[in-house]
Amino acid sequence: MLKFYDSEFSSRLLIGTALYPSPAVMQQAIRAAGSDIVTVSVRRETSGGKTGDAFWSLIRELGVTVLPNTAGCKSVREAVTTAKLARELFGTARIKLEVVADDETLQPDVVGLVEAAAILIKDGFEVFPYCTEDLGVAQRLVDAGCRVVMPWASPIGSARGIINRPALELLRARLPDIALVVDAGLGAPSHAAEALELGFDAVLLNTAVAKAADPVAMAKAFRLAVEAGRAGFEAGLMGPRDFASPSTPVVGTPFWHAVS
């Protein structure tokens, strides 16, 4: 089972709720993904009016856990205020914390992120911080009280997959007791499988499913990839080698020589 703070979940695939061609397709895709947790933009909900009410009704029908996020926030103050609004709006202390440093790359402001995380942890929040793959940043988030850390694979929506595998491997090795979720940049089911094979606890994605030609089929593909990746990790993956190793032993086998 997957454990975030004191709650357990069966699915290791977290999924977003934005960019789908229609609300009905969003619902179908989330069901196909088998996800227990969906992320929801606080700004979308607070500005949606009747549309927001209809969207929230669709989410409730799915019976999933909502993880509000502070997407679009550019300062510590804005992120903290948005998180508190989310707690009132959704009735949950869970928050996916985002503090944006750059509008083009959407790279996290890691300094502001650590500061905001510390404030929210002290206020009783369960913080899911979205960060880069930097070990120092992750360690500071843990020191602030985060029991979940969510490093990116690559920039949001880039579909490039894992671009700094050694850094993610280091994170997993140095933070063995922290729930690690690869968040952002996953574009193909194989990317998700790779993250789970590395020992990460889960992945979070949105664009790769929502913008696919068939979002429902893609959601199912990601679900299967996550399950396969985790199964491979638990089974114990064979390490890479620099030399060949025959699958059929040659020691003790007869050799036939032609006689002239």
Per the CB < 8 A criterion, the answer to whether 200 and 180 are in contact is yes
Q: What is the DSSP letter of 128?
A: E
Angle between helices 215-235 and 189-197 (to 10 degrees): 20
Beta bridge partners of 182: 203
Residue 6, classified by CB atoms within 10 Å of its CB into exposed (0-12), middle (13-18) or buried (19+), is exposed
Q: How far apart are CA 248 and CA 74, in angstroms?
A: 59
Q: How far apart are CA 184 and CA 98, in angstroms?
A: 12
Tokens, residue 132? 């880069």
In 25-82, beta strands by DSSP E? 37-41, 65-69
Q: Catalytic residue at 74?
A: no
Cα three-residue angle 141-237-11, rounded to 5 degrees: 55
Q: Among residues 84, 96, 122, 220, which one is catalytic?
A: 96
Q: How far apart are CA 226 and CA 249, in angstroms?
A: 34
Q: Which residue has the tokens 């996916």?
A: 96
Whose CA is closest to 102, among 72, 130, 127? 72
Rounded to the nearest 10°, the torsion over CA 43, 46, 49, 50 is: 90
Residues designated as active site: 96
